[in-house]
Amino acid sequence: MTVFKDLELELERFRGRLVVAGVFVLAGFALLLLRLVWLQVVRHDELALQAEANRVTVVPAVPNRGVIVDRHGVVLATSYSAYTLELAPPRGARVEALLDELAQVVEITPRDRRRFRRLQEEMKGAESLPVRTRLSDDEVARFLAQRFRFPGVEVRARLFRHYPLGEVGSHLLGYIGRVNAAEKAAMEEWEEERQANYRGTEYIGKLGLEQRYEEPLHGTTGYEEVETSAGGRPVRRLRSRAPVPGHKLELSVDIRLQALVEEMFGERRGALVAIDPRNGEVLAFVSKPTFDPNLFVEGIDVESWRELNESIDKPLLNRALRGTYPPGSTFKPFMALAALESGKRSASTTIMDGGTFQFGNHVFRSHGDAGLGPVDLHRSIVKSSNVYYYSLANEMGVDLIHQQLTPFGFGVRTGIDLEGEATGLLPSTEWKRRAYKRADQQRWYAGETISLGIGQGYNNFTMLQLASAMATLASGGQRHAPRMVRAIEDPVSGARSAPETAPAQSLALKPEHVEAVRRAMHAVTLEGTSARVFAGAPYASGGKTGTAQAVGIRQNEKYNAARLEEHKRDHSLYVAMAPLQAPTIALAVVVENAGFGAEAAAPIARRVFDYVLLGQVPSQEDLAATRLGRSAAPVGTPRRAEDLVPGAVAGDAR
């Protein structure tokens, strides 16, 4: 049976399908057109920028870090460029196997591997980490010839910091190190302009002047716009802006003097700060033992860190800035001046020194079993009478002592241009109320005041504070904030500027009171405790020895150094100024656990004055004796300071 289709119906259906298909096609074209308008018109600028960014890479150009020099232009810190082998392994890559393969091309030591593993832990998310630093030209050539074997491994030119004098001046210079996670997080809070200047920067100042003057030393980051291929390889440089090197710091420190003092300490621990009382410039800033800041530049290895960090001598402790010590008898000239200024005593007031001072049931001893007899202010300093200052402290009271001596900088930060300065402690009744929680501990007992007079008890100061106070006394009451940097030089224009400092403060001391204390301190070098050390000196100076307890001893028990461990013996201190009538240098020095001030500390001070005032350096024989604490007045033929090789140890001459 034949079936006939309805042609009209079929045509109608076909036309319907055709219309639907046409609508779909037109809708598709409309969507494409709308998308084209969206991409080419609405988002044109944005997408063009992205396309350009895919084609063009902006690479930060890290500036050369500024140079640090001493007052005579001797370079203390500089930078140089060298090649590093850096690894950014693909995810899941067997790093150890890759390092083994690399070791067949360039030398990779176990220390390099340990440092790389430590950096992996500390710098998670970093684009690349150094496997080897300071590659030789031969090593660079060998690697580049086989680069195809090592995906993710690159040779890059990096700037390295170098401290050419090694351990000399390490505590004042500080060091730089790789930016850690905490520092990176802190940088993210900076304003945009400051962040932009640190893009690509991997090392910053961590300690000392490197930390304090980080931004002037850092310089201005430049950039390079590089056209890249689809594979990310650079094709050509489009444009660039050269980085601007960091500013040069010129220090007030004389590095030859610094090296000489460090040499004179030998293997002993301690600190010395020397200041120009006319302007606050720091001439020497010594903390012993020292360390080599070059160890930290590439990341210190575990063994070196353990040796520094766990040493009983604490070489990482900046004793001049953060070490606090009881000042001992070096405190007496300031107590004498406080007595005169407050009117508690006149210079002629006489006290009978019978060898002991009794307060209640407690007997405070002087040195020796016999007393000094009648003692006035002058003789109290020359002969270092304890009884005179026990009774003076009792008469003044703790709060008057605090009021009179705080203006000298005791117990407060000096304002030096270094981070991390300790405050020290000059006690008061208010301080004790704030320092303790229990009511019986908060109360100030009158007996606690007595030891303050001889620089013991709660008194604890840094050598920086003691030197600053001595500089204030030497200047007749003008207190300058100590400073390390005397000038900052722009590397482009050569313009020099001095860092901002607080204006000098005048303590309004009466000249006759200052002169009375100065005369007594001068007599210390002629007939007092440091007379043997300053015998034959062609200049007049003033000084005061001090011996301070490192640990307390029981009442009525005599001190016996031979029975104590070395770290528990008394400290040796000396404060001084020279020349007497117009001082150009004031200093404070402590030699830890070295005993009497005239035996260890004063000989170092004498030789510092000889260097600064006479241009002389100790003979080899004298230097050896001073290092061992066995010298008095200099012996042998002194050498000329200018003959010392900059950067060599103090004992070596041309």
Residue 304 in any domain: the answer is no
Max mean pLDDT range (143-152, 178-187, 318-327): 318-327
pLDDT band (50, 70, 90) for residue 223: confident
pLDDT at 520 over 70: yes
Q: What is the mean pLDDT of residues 114-131?
A: 73
My answer on whether 390 and 244 are in the same domain is no
Residue 42 in any domain: the answer is no
My answer on whether 365 and 232 are in the same domain is no
pLDDT band (50, 70, 90) for residue 651: very low
User: Helices (H), strands (E): how many in the chain?
Assistant: 24, 25
* Residue type at position 648: A
Domain count, the chain: 2
Q: Which of 195, 223, 251 is the last residue of a domain?
A: 251
Q: Which residue has the higher pLDDT, 242 or 123?
A: 242
Positions marked catalytic: 329
Q: Is 536 exposed, middle or buried (0-12, 13-18, 19+ CB in 10 A)?
A: exposed
My answer on whether 235 and 327 are in the same domain is no
My answer on whether 416 and 470 are in the same domain is yes
Question: Which positions ≥6 away from 389 have C-beta within 8 Å?
Answer: 332, 335, 380, 453, 454
CA distances from 381 to 316, 331, 351 (A): 36, 10, 13
574, two tokens: 């000396």
* Cis amide leading into 579 (omega within 30): yes
Question: Which positions ≥6 away from 100 have C-beta within 8 Å?
Answer: none
My answer on whether 383 and 483 are in the same domain is yes
Q: Which of 235, 251, 267 is the last residue of a domain?
A: 251
My answer on whether 97 and 149 are in the same domain is yes
My answer on whether 225 and 265 are in the same domain is no
Question: What CATH number is given to the structural domain containing 98?
Answer: 3.90.1310.10
- Comparing 70-84, 226-240, 492-506, 534-548, the range with the smallest average pLDDT is 226-240
pLDDT band (50, 70, 90) for residue 97: confident
Q: Is 177 exposed, middle or buried (0-12, 13-18, 19+ CB in 10 A)?
A: buried
* Residue type at position 305: W
Q: Is 131 exposed, middle or buried (0-12, 13-18, 19+ CB in 10 A)?
A: buried
Closest to 426 in 3D by CA, of 464, 400, 391: 400
My answer on whether 227 and 332 are in the same domain is no
pLDDT at 123 over 80: no
My answer on whether 236 and 263 are in the same domain is no
Decide if 257 contacts 614 (C-beta within 8 A): no
Q: What is the mean pLDDT of residues 143-158?
A: 83
Q: Which domain holds residue 94?
A: 61-251
DSSP letter assigned to residue 530: T
pLDDT at 249 over 60: yes
Q: Which residue has the higher pLDDT, 282 or 129?
A: 282
- pLDDT tens digits, residue range 14-67? 777 888 888 888 888 888 888 888 777 777 776 666 555 556 677 788 899 999
pLDDT at 560 over 80: no
DSSP letter assigned to residue 325: B
**Residue 134 falls in which region: left (phi positive, over 0), alpha (psi -120 to 50) or beta:** left
Residue 46 in any domain: the answer is no
Residue 450 in any domain: the answer is yes
- Comparing 68-82, 126-140, 194-208, the range with the smallest average pLDDT is 126-140
Within 10 angstroms of residue 120's Cβ, the number of other Cβ atoms is: 14
Give φ, ψ of 246 to 5 degrees.
-70, 160
What pLDDT, on a 0 to 100 scale, did the predictor assign at position 647?
Answer: 52
Give φ, ψ of 434 to 5 degrees.
-80, -25
3-state helix, strand, coil in the chain (%, to 5): 40, 20, 40
pLDDT at 648 over 80: no
Residue 479 in any domain: the answer is yes
Q: How many residues does the chain have?
A: 654
Q: What is the mean pLDDT of residues 562-583?
A: 84
Locate all alpha helices (DSSP H) within 365-435, ordered by sequence: 377-382, 386-396, 398-405, 429-435
Decide if 77 contacts 161 (C-beta within 8 A): yes
My answer on whether 260 and 231 are in the same domain is no
What pLDDT, on a 0 to 100 scale, did the predictor assign at position 365?
Answer: 82
Query: Rounded distance, CA 159 to CA 63, Å?
Result: 9
What pLDDT, on a 0 to 100 scale, did the predictor assign at position 555?
Answer: 45
- pLDDT tens digits, residue range 329-352? 999 999 999 999 999 999 999 999
Residue 23 in any domain: the answer is no
My answer on whether 401 and 485 are in the same domain is yes
Q: Which of 223, 251, 279 is the last residue of a domain?
A: 251
Question: What CATH number is given to the structural domain containing 483?
Answer: 3.40.710.10
Give φ, ψ of 247 to 5 degrees.
-70, 150
- Comparing 21-35, 468-482, 587-601, the range with the smallest average pLDDT is 21-35
Closest to 86 in 3D by CA, of 94, 72, 98, 75: 98
β-bridge partners, 325? 461
- Comparing 109-113, 161-165, 193-197, 508-512, the range with the smallest average pLDDT is 109-113
pLDDT at 399 over 70: yes
Max mean pLDDT range (106-110, 414-418, 644-648): 414-418
556, two tokens: 């009525």
* Residue type at position 124: K
Query: Rounded distance, CA 482 to CA 588, Å?
Result: 13
Decide if 526 contacts 533 (C-beta within 8 A): no
Q: Is 543 exposed, middle or buried (0-12, 13-18, 19+ CB in 10 A)?
A: buried
pLDDT band (50, 70, 90) for residue 132: confident
Query: Rounded distance, CA 557 to CA 443, Å?
Result: 27
Residue 26 in any domain: the answer is no
What pLDDT, on a 0 to 100 scale, did the predictor assign at position 49?
Answer: 63
What pLDDT, on a 0 to 100 scale, did the predictor assign at position 376?
Answer: 97
Residue 202 in any domain: the answer is yes
Strands 248-251 and 68-69: parallel
Helix axes 255-265, 620-627, angle to 10 degrees: 60
Please tell me whether residue 553 adopts helix, strand or coil conformation: coil
- pLDDT tens digits, residue range 282-305? 999 999 999 999 998 877 877 888
My answer on whether 634 and 550 are in the same domain is yes
